[in-house]
Amino acid sequence: MITLNDNVNILPGVGPKRLDALHEIGIFTIEDLINYFPFRYEDLGERLPSETLDGEKATFKGIVSTPAVVTRFGKRSQTRFGLMIEHENVRVSFFNQPWIAQNVEVGQEVAVYGTYDAAKASLTGMKVISKASNEFDPIYPSSKQISAKTIRHLIEIAWADVRGTVGSLVPDKIRQKYRLLDRNTQIENMHFPADMEQAKLARRSIAFEEFFIFQMRLQLLKLADKNFSGEGINYDSKALNKFEAGLPFTLTGAQQKVVSEILTDQKRPVHMNRLLQGDVGSGKTVVAAIALYAVVTAGMQAALMAPTEILAQQHAINLALMFEKSGVDIRIELLTSGMKAAARRQLLEDLADGTIDILVGTHALLQPDVMFHHLGLAVIDEQHRFGVNQRAKLRENGVNPDILAMTATPIPRTLSITTYGEMDVSIIDQLPNGRKQIQTRKISHNQLDSAINFLKQQLSEGAQAYVVTPLIEESEALDVQNAQAMYEALQLELPNDTIGLLHGRLSNDEKKALMADFKRNKIQVLVATTVIEVGVDVPNASIMLIMDADRFGLAQLHQLRGRVGRGTRQSYTILVADPKTDYGRARLDAMVETTDGFILAQKDLELRGSGDILGTKQSGVPEFAVGDPIKDLKMMEVAQQEAISMVSTDDWDKSSENQELVDYLSRTMAHYRHLD
Ligand SMILES: Nc1ncnc2c1ncn2[C@@H]1O[C@H](COP(=O)(O)OP(=O)(O)OP(=O)(O)O)[C@@H](O)[C@H]1O
């Protein structure tokens, strides 16, 4: 009698070679084997030729109309016969299966599965189907070393013995609530479904099980993380209120909500690990400022890390201004790579003795000589640009500070639960009042003149503009040249305005000076390569003209567009392109259709397919055998809720109905440590 825990080599026909091949595809035990599922089913359902597309696979049933003829050429052969299907005659041919000729006779009814060629009214047969009930075949992922047929055969042998012995991982209560099959039935119906419908139901149950197990693991990791360490930040509410009152605007409802989520986390003596997500221009910076200041009022230090030096500098300036305007006297410093040795030494000293309250910088903040006196919080801007390792490094730096990661890249909910499943998520889902909808237009290169005229008119009304030229990946020189040419052309076209040129070859100081001039409206038009992509905040800039817009990804276009529409002016985005591919056209159309970053991100997923979102392969979005976290978003959410409610129930792991689950998790958790 075979059991679930047995090694697969217990099965007849599994010698060392086959065992290796099974190991290759992740099958070690009988349990692994029966959980190796078909990825699709070949539809062997009968069809008429008129219902079948050219090149499609289908099963035709009819009466053999002409005798089977075998033609041999060397070792190869072709077997041909006619098949009358209703009133249509189809020529059937089989390659290298001469024995078929012996099994078909004129006048006999047969069903043949094969590939249809509509023009020739012929079917290249793959098999003659004997049992009419056998509607479709499960197709297993196979490898060079082991065929799908062998896998299928092994599953049949194993299942005959272990059938009925598989305990359910998803507790009964949850299964009943969502009408899910028990584990025995779901596995049986995956491998041996009676019809397509049954296979679909089994798939649904299995997908849920996968998601639920995944979410259980995440929730358990999260619990472990919370219990691990962290200190309560005893902030001064009065000082925070005063700071808020001194801001030139009132916080939106959404900002207030996330501020209170963050402050609640900070106050608790557990480690905060939170992702602040908000569309471009939704006002994340001020939320971060409040969190940073909270830490300072508690007598600790805080750090803000940005992905580029320009952004770090912008943040430092903006924070300083914000605090100054609200009458808050704290010391904010910027650590840059270009600092003179003496200045850097002084800064590090002041940091170590606690004189500096907030330190802003790039990942240069992670260098080992950067020692804080007492770091209470690290805010990481544009978190997806920092690897998991860097996050971990920051945690190691001293006291394991609270972490608040901010991202403007709209991450569809699907991905935030999967990628950031170990983080709590706060979402700003509202833009500040008084913003006007950005108008987006796409034009072709030969309409550029009219766009320039429009630009002229807007500039004369006091607006400012960005003109972005694409990054030419193959050649940095070429993209600088492109930007340079645009800069020169605009100087001729717009003699009354000052034009600036920003590109990657400028020094950080030059970039900073340009940005400062643009912000102060000393420059009206900023021609730039994508160095301005994220985070730049100049509310008076209301025109974004993007050259060769089809060279940009959807997320990038959305980021660029987010640089305008930040003030009260009506803003415009003009996409100049003559896209050559459907994909390029689809991206531009999506930009014109919506300004909602979340919808765009979803669209981006659809257009790119689920394979490579934000480089998910690297970003740690787990892959599932059956479930698709993007298509089955709702199910993933439900699984998350159920897992959260399970781990928050007292003694859930002692209850007898959860024993299978607890056993399974403790057996397999070690594999998942890397997710943290
Ligand atoms: N509640 C508010 N009311 C009015 N203006 C606001 C409010 N909150 C923020 N702002 C302003 O909106 C602009 C955008 O805010 P901020 O730079 O924080 O956005 P963000 O979320 O960081 O966007 P991005 O990711 O695009 O940089 C800033 O000029 C800021 O001063």
pLDDT of residue 217: 80
Scored b (16 or more CB within 10 A) or e, 565-575 reads bbbebebbbbb
pLDDT at 567 over 90: no
User: Looking at the DSSP assignment, which residues form a beta bridge with residue 137?
Assistant: 42
Residue 242 has a pLDDT of 93
Residue 495 DSSP one-character state: T
Residue-range domains of the chain with CATH:
1-44+147-163 (1.10.150), 45-129 (2.40.50.140), 237-428 (3.40.50.300), 439-594 (3.40.50.300)
Q: How far is the CA of 139 from the centre of ligand 1 (A)?
A: 52
Average pLDDT over residues 585-590: 91
Residue 545 Cα, ligand 1 centroid: separation in angstroms? 21
10 Å Cβ neighbour count for 71?
A: 11
Query: For residue 122, is it left (φ>0), alpha (ψ between -120 and 50) or beta?
Result: beta
Query: For residue 4, what are its two tokens?
Result: 């679930």
496: buried, middle or exposed (CB in 10 Å: 19+, 13-18, 0-12)?
exposed
Q: DSSP states of 174-214 as a string?
A: HHHHTTPPPHHHHHHHHHS-SSHHHHHHHHHHHHHHHHHHH
Quick check: 618 pLDDT over 80?
Answer: no
Mutate to test the pocket of ligand 1, among 252, 275, 566, 595 (most ligand atoms within 8 A of CB): 566
- Higher pLDDT pick, 222 / 168: 168
> Which residue puts its alpha carbon closest to atom 3 of ligand 1?
432
Q: pLDDT tens-digit profile of 405-439?
A: 888 766 665 566 655 566 788 889 888 887 888 99
Nearest to 109 by CA among 60, 176, 151, 163: 60
pLDDT at position 541 is 93
Q: How confident is the model at residue 392 (pLDDT cuts 50, 70, 90)?
A: low
Q: Are 240 and 297 in contact (CB under 8 A)?
A: yes
Q: Whose CA is nearest to atom 27 of ligand 1?
A: 535
* Residue positions counted in the chain: 676
* CA–CA separation, 170 and 162 (whole Å): 19
The model's pLDDT over 61-96, given as tens digits with 9 standing for 90+, comes to: 889 999 999 998 888 889 999 999 988 899 999 988
Q: CA dihedral defined by 652, 653, 659, 664, rounded to 10 degrees?
A: 120
What is the distance in A from the centroid of ligand 1 to the CA of 591? Answer: 21
Give the mean pLDDT of 623-646. Answer: 82
CA distance 582 to 522: 41
Distance CA 492, CA 78 (A): 74
pLDDT of amino acid 109: 87
Lowest mean pLDDT among 370-384, 577-591, 599-613: 599-613
- Residue ID of nearest Cα to ligand 1 atom 9: 283
Mean pLDDT lowest among 368-382, 389-403, 519-533, 587-601: 389-403
Over 80: is that where the pLDDT of 663 sits? yes
Atom 31 of ligand 1, residue of closest alpha carbon? 283
Gap from CA of 465 to ligand 1 centroid (Å): 18
Mean pLDDT within 526-536: 75
Distance 427 CA to ligand 1 centre (A): 14
Lowest-confidence range among 444-458, 510-524, 591-605? 591-605
Element (H, E) at 636: helix 633-647
Mean local confidence (pLDDT), 440-444: 94
> Which ligand 1 atom minimizes the distance to the CA of 536?
27
Q: Is 424 exposed, middle or buried (0-12, 13-18, 19+ CB in 10 A)?
A: middle
Rounded (5°) CA angle 413-418-419: 100
Q: Residue 8 and residue 14: Cα distance in Å, rounded?
A: 7
Cβ neighbors of 143 (< 8 A, separation 6 or more) are: 21, 24, 25
pLDDT of the residue at 30: 94
Q: Which of 244, 285, 314 to mutate to test the pocket of ligand 1 (most atoms within 8 A of CB)?
A: 285
Structure tokens at 499: 């034009």
DSSP for 238-259 reads HHHHHHHHTSSSPPPHHHHHHH
* 281 CA to centre of ligand 1 in angstroms: 5
Residues with Cβ within 8 Å of residue 616, at least 6 apart in sequence: 415, 419, 610
Confidence of residue 675 (pLDDT cuts 50, 70, 90): very low
Mean pLDDT of the chain: 84
Instruction: Identify the band that residue 616 occupies on the pLDDT scale cut at 50, 70 and 90.
Output: very low
pLDDT band with cut points at 50, 70 and 90 for residue 611: very low
What pLDDT is attached to residue 394? 61
What pTM does this model have?
0.60
The pLDDT value given to residue 320: 92
Pocket of ligand 1 (CB under 6 A): 249, 251-252, 255, 278, 280-286, 408, 432, 535, 537, 539, 562, 566
Q: Are 391 and 363 in contact (CB under 8 A)?
A: no
Beta-carbon neighbour count of residue 306 at 10 Å? Answer: 25
Q: Of all protein residues, whose CA lies closest to atom 10 belonging to ligand 1? A: 283
- Which residue, 550, 542, 597, is CA-closest to 572? 542
pLDDT for res 412: 60
Query: Token match 């479904």: residue?
Result: 193
Segment 123-145 mean pLDDT: 74
Say how many CA atoms lie within 13 Å of 295 toward its Cβ.
Answer: 30
Confidence of residue 617 (pLDDT cuts 50, 70, 90): very low
Structure ipTM: 0.97
What are 399's two structure tokens? 């006291």
The pLDDT, as a whole number, for residue 431 is 85
How far apart CA 587 and CA 553 sit, in angstroms, is 8
Query: How would you class 474 by CB atoms within 10 Å of its CB: exposed for 0-12, middle for 13-18, buried for 19 or more?
Result: exposed
Cα–Cα distance between 540 and 532 in angstroms, integer? 15
Question: How many angstroms separate the CA atoms of 324 and 2, rounded?
Answer: 74
Q: Which one has a higher pLDDT value, 668 or 141?
A: 141
